Chains A and B, each alone.
Chain A
Amino acid sequence: MDSVKKSFAFRLTVAWFALIIFFAVFGPLLPLPNWQEVFDDALSVTPLKQGHLLGTDSNGYDILSGIVYGARISLFISFTAVFLGGVIGSAIGISAAYVRGKYDYVVSTLFNVVLSVPNLVLSLALIAVLATNVDPNVPTSTGRRITVLVISLTIVIIPILGRIARAATLSWANREFVLAARSMGSKDRSIIWRHIVPNVLPAIFAVAFLAIGVVIVAEASLSLLGAGVPDGTSWGSMVARGRNDIEFAPHIIIIPLIFIALTVISCNYIGDVIRKQLDQRQAKL
């Protein structure tokens, strides 16, 4: 672990997370123009010109401000969806593996059913029904779109993490110390909390980081398809808005793409590190 912690890649990853989380939390305190302020005299400015660090887009919005605000939305959506999906999925997965029997059969069948709709298609379907207004002329508010996005992505995440939790629990539930605790009359609830959860958690965490990456990509894809958040509110929707400018001002989409890609790489890297750690621990047992 220490060698990993000292590695350059690990430090870089931590620094990147620190930066984007700082953007998301303290963004409004930064001395930047409002993300919705239009600079009429500075359209499609390339980075470092006219006082715009990352330039402006073709509408005259400051890109850095957009990135900082987008960090808040993109990270909020992905962290919330993975957190909720993780909690719900783990609760279902752990209990199913612990109880076994019919309940477990129903749960794993349902997981399989939901997983047999490809992620992106499932979230598209959910958004399609949840974000629709009866009157086609009334646009859905950004707030509602974000809520719908979080709900859909949570539903996508539940079976992914639930299945991991279930598998991990199955491998721990029959270990000696659990059986011993059971034979000594411990309550199921306390066995789960004291013995199962702490052991299953690392496996869930490893996949949760990968899941954050998946959700960030999904959010961006959905925005690109016009089903996510509108108006450059998230990184993905900045890409979507800049798509028509790709020929003459590519920086407008390349900058948010870089933020998306680096964040996903970081998530995958951390997930990988945790998984390797786990494998080593498993090997020692």
Chain B
Amino acid sequence: MNKLGELAKRIGQLVLVLFLVTLLVAFLMRLLPADTVDIMLPGQPEEFKEVIRQELGLDKGFFGYYFQWLTNFVKGDFGSFYFAGGSETVASHLGNALPKSLLLMLYSQIVALAVSIPLGLSSAYRAGTKFDRAVSGTLFTFSSVPSFAIGLILALVVGVKLGWVEPLGYVPMSEGLVEHFKHMVLPVASLSVGLIAAYTRLLRSDVIATLKEDYVTMAASKGLSDRRILWRHVFRPSSITLMTSAALNMGGLIGGAVVIENIFSIQGVGFEIIYALGTRQYVALQSLIALVAVGYVLFNVVVDIASGFVDPRTRERRGLR
């Protein structure tokens, strides 16, 4: 009963937050200085605009409009981009854009974790040595350099000066894995540098704390090698902190991806957002932003549940044995 109550409460909170986030985004779009359709489709005949207004429910007041939009949104109908001649659904754009953005972020997280885990463990293990100080100093600097700066400089050095990788555009996996990764290298590198810095710093301090734990000395007293102790006994508990941090950094990563997609001409969700903004597609913009926010919230929930699942300590605390 207790477990169920807890679960119900959490689901209730989640639904409330999702509801409020979408409401907030819808409300934001109402801050436009004039009627949405007038702004979206300037110079179109009034009758045409009226049709669109009715189609969108903009004639039904704010809440009427919001609930109509929300109902469609939940059903997977994210509205359309409107042009003088007609319209294209946001969903069709997303079908192309979403995989690109998701892959970009997934690769960045994988690269970031793959680099920062050994780096964090070894600099914690050698805390205070020259190696540790060099790593910490370098990472502090990199944690402060925005990803777009890294992206631009990488594009300059690698793409233009050395002529190694064609830095622009996106090539899907189906057109060749090598080409696909070639085009992903620079964007992923730009996005992961900041993450590497954040994760390594976090892991280092967490591992230094864990190394002082009794159970680490206990593991040592079994005669295990330091390497085994680090991976099996120290990294395991610290990895949970790392997961939480990966979730926290997701917001920054999404923002970074918007810019990086635009720098490297990857037509992902960030690119679509800027496109909608530039072409004054406020309905599409509302759905896109709501989608990003909802995705972000859900990602955090998933990580929260997953880390609770991985960590027997919280599992006990929550009574979810």
Contacts and interface: CB of A to CB of B under 8 A. Distances in A.
Contacts of B141: 265
Interface in A88-146: 109-110, 112-121, 124-126, 128-130, 132-136
B17 A132 contact: no
B152 A253 contact: yes
Contacts of A109: 16-17, 20
Contacts of B254: 118, 120-121
A221 interface: yes
B297 to A, nearest CB: 5
Given A132-B280, A135-B42, A221-B146, A120 B258 contact: yes
B144 interface: yes
B274 A119 contact: no
A164 interface: no
A213 interface: yes
A218 B254 CA distance: 13
Interface string B110-150: 00000000000000000000000000000011011110110
A246 B160 contact: yes
Contacts of B252: 118-119
B139 to A, nearest CB: 11
Contacts of A272: 140
Contacts of B144: 213, 261, 264-265, 267-269
Contacts of A247: 156, 160
A268 B24 contact: no
A207 interface: no
B148 A117 contact: no
B134 to A, nearest CB: 14
A121 B293 contact: yes
Interface in A209-248: 213, 217-218, 220-221, 224-227, 239, 243, 246-247
A257 B24 contact: no
Per DSSP, are chain A's interface residues mostly helix, strand or loop, or mixed?
Answer: helix
Contacts, number: 139
A119 B251 contact: yes
Nearest to B285: A128
A132 B221 CA distance: 68
Contact of B251 (A118, A133, A225, A268): A118
B296 A113 contact: no
Interface string B264-280: 00000000011001101
A125 B152 contact: no
A264 B280 contact: no
B148 A132 contact: no
B229 interface: no
Interface string B20-38: 1100110011011110001
A130 B256 CA distance: 22
Given A119-B251, A120-B259, A221-B255, A257 B143 contact: no
B160 A121 contact: no
B39 A132 contact: yes
B34 A261 contact: no
Contacts of A213: 144
B140 A261 contact: no
A70 to B, nearest CB: 15
Contacts of B98: none
A116 B16 CA distance: 12
Interface of A: 109-110, 112-121, 124-126, 128-130, 132-136, 213, 217-218, 220-221, 224-227, 239, 243, 246-247, 250, 253-254, 257, 260-261, 264-265, 267-269, 272
Interface of B: 16-17, 20-21, 24-25, 28-29, 31-34, 38-39, 42, 140-141, 143-146, 148-149, 152-153, 155-156, 160, 250-252, 254-256, 258-259, 262-263, 273-274, 277-278, 280, 282, 285, 289, 292-293, 296-297, 300
Enumerate the 4 nearest inter-chain pairs by beta-carbon distance, A residue then B residue, closest first: A120-B255, A265-B144, A118-B251, A118-B254
14 contacts: A110-B20, A113-B20, A116-B21, A118-B252, A118-B254, A118-B296, A121-B293, A126-B31, A132-B39, A134-B33, A213-B144, A243-B152, A246-B160, A264-B145
